[in-house]
Structure 1
Amino acid sequence: MFHRNKPLRAALAGVAALSLSMLAACANYSTPTTAAPAGSATGGGAAAPTLVSAGKFTVCTHLAYRPFQFKDDAGKTVGFDVDLMDLVAKKLGVTQEIVDIEFEQITSGAVFAAKKCDAGAAAITITDKRKQATGFSDPYFAATQALLVKSDSTVTDLAGLKGQTLAVQAGTTGHDYAKKNADANGYTVKVFDDMPSGANAVLAGTVAAAINDNGVLYDFAKQNPTTKVATEFATGEHYGFNMAKDNTALLTVVNEVLKTAKSDGTYNDIYKKWFGTDAPKE
């Protein structure tokens, strides 16, 4: 009896194996602990990215940093960085979940060590110091520092702040730039936890100026016409998305998504959506 059924069992096993191979060929990255099939987005035979929560691409940010990431009137987190990370989530076959957390927890890599997030998307300038702590994607946005003042202010540079107070955001490259130039220009640095607090201090007149990335300060001045951007500083910065240094599979996917988005026009569409103009040519 068992001998008669051996050919049948062998045939069924062959069908099952074929079915599994077909499923594997159609798989995406939604199962975080399995290897991606040959020919997938990570390259033939490469391991799939490991995600901290199954079915989710968990992204750490620090709100608010309009237009990169902020809450809209409905309370939903939106922005330039959010849209780009949605492309990564789509490639992984999952949905993006955003965690608002202290900026320095992201840049130091603490959020990755604690398994709180898969990636950081918070308009993070790539620096040598930060690269020692986390992995970084290819650059996706060029930035520089800028100076926000009241619209009737006569301040046009750091020297004009002598004897006055300059607002900075903790843990940022703007904070570093302000400290480096404080003694030479005779101003006092006041540290705020986030960008809106420092910018609103300018609006309220409790500080003479604020320094931060140009993109967010131009947006703030647009929303608050009693302020203006007095000048920019040629710091030559570039943003990158960061992640744990050993999560090379995720790094590969993020870089592939950025490359594809730039080549097929998706990046430019997102850029134009948030900045009102075409992305600058690289």
Structure 2
Amino acid sequence: MNWTALIATAALALSGAAMAQNTDHPGDKTMVVGSDFGVAPWMVRGASGPEGFGVDMITDIAKRVGRPGVEIVDINFSGLFAALFSKRIEFTVNPLNITAERAERMLYTEPFFATGNGFLVRAADEMKGFEDLKGKQLAVNRGTISDTWATANSEKYGFEVQRYDTFPDSVQAVITRRAFTALNEIPTAVFAAAHNKAIKVGFKDFNGRNFGYAFRLEDTAYRNTVEEAIECMKLDGTLARMYEKWYGSAPDQTSTINAVFVGYGAPGFKGYEFKPHVPGCK
């Protein structure tokens, strides 16, 4: 066996991977990421630009990985993955559920935010469980995990699905009585109800779902770099403080917002790497 040739080939491959990472994630340039701005308090458009939990989080990450700044591109959820795969953005920073189907097409970071189904109804209405959906209209943000859940369960529980391009549009459908309930992530639903007396959270379905950032399949090295920054934010309490700032209460101590996982990626999903490490926190 020609070991010299083999080593040279391996070195060339590593060099090519490094060059690709430098091209797609240039350390001396602003980090460009994507999110839907219509999900409060994760990310909304403020007077001077986007603001919210997700903005604070990615701004802190950009500093920790040495990027000079961050640009967050406002993209409706239905167009988010196309923007990722076309390299319009470097990775996603919206509240994105980790699923096995999505993990076939993209790399996830480890989980950092626990969630579930939150059902918003008008203040005068009641929803005690799934049985109250029978014969009703359920509004969702098109293309989200809420849309997936609604599609899979509409026949089982006997409701019809209305799809909207933004979360506020789905809430408006409830307020104007076009829909009985709007479905979104529990933290998002709780925040929306706290800021609008016309609606309330009728029912919470805690089901073990988690959010993670998503990268292109070839971006393993950069995914790992960003994940270590997230791990450092967990270890020094930064993520928990951000959560309390934007959601109004401390996260549960068993939440993944406080849990550092062994290896890189989401355990149990494709793209996970069992590589025990100590994050290089600064």
- TM-score when normalising by structure 1: 0.78
Matched, 1:253 2:218: no
The 8 Å contact of residues 35 and 75 in structure 2, kept in 1 or not, is answered as yes
Match of 2:111 among 139, 144, 167: 139
Match of 2:91 in 1: 119
Match of 1:105 in 2: 79
Matched, 1:190 2:158: no
Matched, 1:60 2:34: yes
Matched, 1:85 2:58: yes
**Aligned counterparts of 2:220 and 2:78: Cα–Cα separation in 1:** 22
CA shift in 2, pair 1:49/1:278, >3 Å: farther
**Aligned counterparts of 2:171 and 2:155: Cα–Cα separation in 1:** 22
Shift of 1:105: 3.0
Matched, 1:128 2:100: yes
Match of 2:249 in 1: 277
Shift of 1:154: 2.7
Shift of 1:235: 2.4
Instruction: Provide the identity percentage.
Output: 26
| One-letter amino acid of the structure 2 residue matched with residue 172 of structure 1 | T
The 8 Å contact of residues 115 and 206 in structure 2, kept in 1 or not, is answered as no
Match of 2:210 in 1: 238
**Aligned counterparts of 2:22 and 2:238: Cα–Cα separation in 1:** 24
Q: Give the unaligned 5+ runs of structure 1.
A: 1-32, 37-46
Shift of 1:269: 1.5
**Aligned counterparts of 1:70 and 1:158: Cα–Cα separation in 2:** 30
Provide the secondary structure at the position in 1 that maps to 2:174: helix
Aligned length: 237
Deviations 1:71-124 (A, max 9, x none): 12x141011111111122112232010111131333x4x223312001101100
Provide the secondary structure at the position in 1 that maps to 2:252: coil
CA shift in 2, pair 1:144/1:34, >3 Å: closer
**Aligned counterparts of 1:253 and 1:148: Cα–Cα separation in 2:** 37
Matched, 1:220 2:192: yes
- TM-score when normalising by structure 2: 0.78
**Aligned counterparts of 2:18 and 2:135: Cα–Cα separation in 1:** 60
**Aligned counterparts of 1:158 and 1:63: Cα–Cα separation in 2:** 29
Match of 1:3 in 2: none
Deviations 1:153-179 (A, max 9, x none): 033223213222111111111112112
**Aligned counterparts of 2:88 and 2:136: Cα–Cα separation in 1:** 40
